[in-house]
């Protein structure tokens, strides 16, 4: 029978080791290698889980696959920058952002960044 009790999201990467290092070491998420499956499981602070899987012909998602709500966007961008993460990934004609990559108009303040596979992630204030 179909149930919604244990639903989860997932996305692909081209290199599971690079993804594990980024999500675990750079971002500080709890990452479990699901032995023998070719999958990683990210456990979010909320308790939610995200499946990350390797894909031979991976193409980076052009949309945001994972959002991290923050209280202070400027502090979050400073922290990401200190961790070696670039938050200025879009041309200003596409998304008008300041020199730090923060878009402060058209909704909550948000800064996008990419994982090693090129997937788009974001921190957003609110």
Following DSSP, what letter does each residue of 38-89 receive, concatenated?
A: TEEEEE-TTS-EEEEEE-TT----SSEEEEEEES-HHHHHHHHHHTT-----
Model confidence, pTM: 0.92
Can you tell me the distance from the alpha carbon of 87 to that of 108, in angstroms, rounded to the nearest whole number? Answer: 16
pLDDT in tens, 10-20: 999 999 999 99
pLDDT in tens, 85-120: 999 988 888 889 999 999 998 889 999 999 999 999
Instruction: List the 49-54 sheet strands across, edge first.
Output: 9-13, 49-54, 39-43, 30-34
């Amino acid at each position: 029978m179909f149930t919604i009790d244990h639903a989860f999201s997932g996305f692909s990467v081209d290199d599971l080791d690079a993804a594990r290092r980024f999500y675990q070491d750079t971002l500080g998420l709890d990452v479990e290698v699901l032995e023998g499956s070719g999958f990683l499981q990210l456990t979010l602070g909320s308790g939610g889980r995200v499946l990350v899987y390797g894909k031979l012909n991976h193409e980076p998602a052009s949309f945001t696959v994972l959002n991290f709500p923050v209280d202070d966007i400027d502090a979050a961008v400073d922290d990401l920058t200190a961790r070696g993460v670039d938050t200025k990934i879009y041309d200003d004609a596409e998304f008008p952002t300041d020199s730090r990559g923060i878009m402060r108009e058209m909704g909550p303040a948000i800064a996008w960044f990419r994982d090693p596979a090129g997937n788009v992630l974001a921190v957003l204030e609110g």
